[in-house]
C-alpha cells in the first residue's frame, strides 16, 4: 500500500539518496506501552495536504508500506503541548494498525512511520500521470460518511440539516424566515440575492 509524504524540492536529491531519516523527519510522538516513540507523519491521500499539493515548491513522495506494520491515527486529536507533558489520550487511543483502518473513519488520518524510510521504499509521485486518487480527500470522505450515518439514524436527515442551516443564517439576519399557516414549512428569503428556499420543519 502507498502513503504520501511531502518534501521541499531543495531536499529532493538528498532524500532520494539517503531516504527519510527518522531523527530528521519525525513530526509526531506517540506512547506505546508507556514508551515515547517518534514517528514520521505520512498521509493516506496526497490531497489531504492540498496546500502543498498545489505548491510547486513541494514534491509528493509515494511510500510503499506494510499495512500490518504501519499505524494510523486521527490527526485532529494531536496536541504537541500535551505530548510534551507525556499525555494525549485521545490521540493515543485512536492509533490502530493501518490494515484495520476503514477509510472515512477519521477526519484527518495520518500514517505513523516509526523508523527511517530507506530510499528503495519510495519514489516521487507524478501529480499528472500517476495512479489516480480514488477520493477527493480524507476529510471530504469523512464528512460524506457522517452524513450517511445521520441518514441511517434519523428520518428526513437532509431536511433537518437544511432547516438548521437556514435558521442559523436567519439568526444572523442574512435571511428572513416565514412560517406557513399550517406550521409545516419554513420559507427563507435572501432579498439581496433573490434566493428563496422552502424547508420542511421536522
Q: Where do the domains of the chain lie?
A: 2-135, 154-200
The residue behind cell 477509510 is 103
Q: How confident is the model at residue 41 (pLDDT cuts 50, 70, 90)?
A: very high
Beta strands in 9-57, from DSSP E residues, in sequence order: 28-32, 35-42
pLDDT tens per residue across span 63-118: 999 999 899 999 999 887 766 665 678 888 899 999 999 999 999 999 999 999 99
pLDDT for residue 88: 75
| Torsion of Cα atoms, 32 then 38 then 42 then 43, to 10° | 50
pLDDT tens per residue across span 120-175: 898 888 776 665 566 778 999 999 999 999 999 998 899 999 999 999 999 999 99
pLDDT for residue 84: 61
| Torsion of Cα atoms, 62 then 111 then 8 then 59, to 10° | 30
Q: How many CA atoms lie within 13 A of 91 on its CB side?
A: 21
In which element (H, E) is residue 124 found? strand 122-124
Amino acid at each position: 500500500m502507498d502513503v504520501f509524504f511531502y518534501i521541499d524540492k531543495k531536499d529532493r536529491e538528498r532524500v532520494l539518496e539517503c531516504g527519510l531519516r527518522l531523527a530528521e523527519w519525525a513530526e509526531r510522538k506517540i506512547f506505546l506501552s508507556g514508551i515515547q516513540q517518534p514517528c514520521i507523519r505520512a498521509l493516506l491521500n496526497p490531497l489531504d495536504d492540498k496546500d502543498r499539493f498545489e505548491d510547486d515548491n513541494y514534491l509528493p513522495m509515494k511510500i510503499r508500506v506494510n499495512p500490518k506494520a504501519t499505524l494510523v491515527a486521527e490527526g485532529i486529536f494531536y496536541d504537541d503541548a500535551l505530548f510534551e507533558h507525556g499525555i494525549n489520550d485521545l490521540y493515543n487511543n485512536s492509533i490502530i494498525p493501518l490494515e484495520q483502518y476503514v477509510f472515512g473513519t477519521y477526519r484527518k488520518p495520518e500514517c505513523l512511520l516509526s523508523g527511517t524510510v530507506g530510499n528503495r521504499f519510495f519514489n516521487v509521485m507524478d501529480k499528472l500521470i500517476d495512479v489516480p486518487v480514488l477520493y477527493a480527500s480524507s476529510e471530504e470522505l469523512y464528512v460524506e460518511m457522517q452524513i450517511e450515518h445521520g441518514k441511517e439514524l434519523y428520518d428526513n436527515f437532509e431536511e433537518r440539516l437544511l432547516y438548521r442551516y437556514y435558521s442559523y443564517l436567519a439568526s444572523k439576519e442574512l435571511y428572513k424566515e416565514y412560517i406557513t399557516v399550517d406550521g409545516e414549512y419554513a420559507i427563507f428569503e435572501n432579498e439581496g440575492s433573490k434566493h428563496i428556499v422552502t424547508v420542511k420543519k421536522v
